[in-house]
Structure 1
Amino acid sequence: MSANNVLVVSATKSEAAYVPQGYELLITGIGKVSAATAVASALARDERDDLPLVVNIGTAGALHAHHGGLYVPGVVINHDISSTAIRALGHDVADRLVLAGGDDSVLATGDAFIADAATRDALAQRADLVDMEGFAIAFAAQAAGATCRLVKHVSDHADDSALDWPAMIDASARELGRWLLDNV
């Protein structure tokens, strides 16, 4: 795969600070709505014969103390949608996506910034990592017919350490840039 057929997607410029030259980069803004809208718009405008591989790079909070480093989640869930209630009303809802080429980690995506132990512990029963854009990016990419890969670097443990995110971002961005060089 060449950099010419890859769309690197990041919520913030700081997470994408070390994306190598030659990659198309889309900065979406923070949260599910911003991310889905930006990716859907970019893919709708894309004029290549084959849609690019969408690679979302970014930070994530670890939901378990033993998680650290870099992950390529094989499953992503939308953790803050009331899917049980919606299904009880007779409607289908996508709240879990399987991503080809991922590892065995599960990423939970939601609009809430997780920085407390009680919320983290509840999410830890369903997932390994938490972010604010991954599900939305994967959903928009899959809806357009593009393949998506999520690449997340642990920046905190989804507790009060999450408030130190600005201090941790440079190290995470370096690892994410290195992953792109080595894997795409």
Structure 2
Amino acid sequence: MQSTKKNKFVICNPKVCIGCATCMSACYQSAYERGKLATPRLIVTRTTNGVMPNQCRQCDDAPCAKVCPVGALTFGDDSIELHEEICIGCKLCTIACPFGAIRASAETMPSVDYSVEPEAMLTLESVIGLKTIAVKCDLCKGREGGPACVEVCPTGALIFFEPNTQEQMVLNKAEKSANKFVEILQQNKG
């Protein structure tokens, strides 16, 4: 039976995660190298029950994309895509996300001369002279090796899940087992 889940996503096993934040560093570096806002798209979260990165689950129904007034969040072929260049920073997606996996961050604007402007604090979500945009996991789209966080995780706690590919592998394995079983039955019959 095939799942209705179609989007790719990264999932974490919290029993294996040690909270080292290596994934956050790799995410930051990947975003920077791909020309995106240089900030991690996942945040290592610590609770009384454990530690693990919180990142976009690439929901098939994507409440964030449904509320975006300018279409900066869209349904892609296999993920929820964020178009940073058209995001207006309204933060509706941060409210709609049931996992708290989207947050707002600020970036400098090329049209502002920061040498004469008051000192800007990029850690604030809304600052005069800065453009606030949504930040979410994009599965390192355009990166040859796939999600950087999965690649660098020292414990293997992060897994890149591709539902259609992995379901097909399971179905192929089941089909081979069934064919082998039929073959054994036919040999025993004759």
Considering the TM-score relative to the shorter chain, is it more than 0.5?
Answer: no
TM-score (norm. length: structure 1): 0.24
Q: Larger radius of gyration, structure 1 or 2? A: 2
The structure richer in strand per residue is 1
How does the TM-score come out when normalised to structure 2? 0.24
Greater relative CO, 1 or 2 (CA 8 Å, sep 6+): 1
Bigger share in helix: 1
